[in-house]
Amino acid sequence: MPFSYNIEPDGLAVVVGTGEGDRQAWLATIFKLMSDQRFWQHMPILMDFTALTSAPPPIYVSALADDVQGLLRGNRIAVIATLPAVLALTNQVSLLTGERISAFQSLVEGRDWLRKPTAEK
């Protein structure tokens, strides 16, 4: 599966994407994460998409925003990506869902942002 997840001992959920950025595969992984007994409602989530080779088409922006709003409404999400298309898609989803989602090109920056008490960059 191109997406997997891990819950770190400090309470950070890490979703890793490799290969093609398929929305259905991402959703399947999010459902698995949410059903994990260690997952809690406001758990911060780091999505490491640095190994993705493509992003979902821009037509999915609204659907992805709906997914985030419906499934992860209380979670702060840092998306780490290097592909311009993934960064652009994340920024568009962020505009539709609020400042609790942000895109970064560095894992360190994303982790630091998630540790801050507010969603400020």
Give the CATH number, domain containing residue 33.
3.30.750.24
What is the H or E stretch that residue 5 is in?
strand 3-7
Residue 53 counted as domain residue: yes
- Identify the pLDDT of residue 119: 43
- Series of mean pLDDT values for 10-residue runs along the chain (121 residues): 91 95 92 96 95 89 91 93 93 89 95 79 46
- Identify the pLDDT of residue 56: 86
Residue 77's CB is within 10 A of a number of other CB atoms, namely: 24
> How many structural domains comprise the chain?
1
Comparing CA positions, the residue from 82, 102, 104 lying closest to residue 93 is 102
Residue 52 counted as domain residue: yes
Comparing CA positions, the residue from 19, 28, 92 lying closest to residue 60 is 92
- Identify the pLDDT of residue 117: 78
**pTM of the full structure:** 0.91
Residue 120 counted as domain residue: no
Domain with 16, as residue range(s), is 3-115
Q: Where are the alpha helices (DSSP H) in 1-121?
A: 23-35, 61-71, 84-97, 107-115
Residue 62 counted as domain residue: yes
Residue 59 counted as domain residue: yes
Query: Distance between CA atoms of 45 and 68, rounded to whole angstroms?
Result: 12
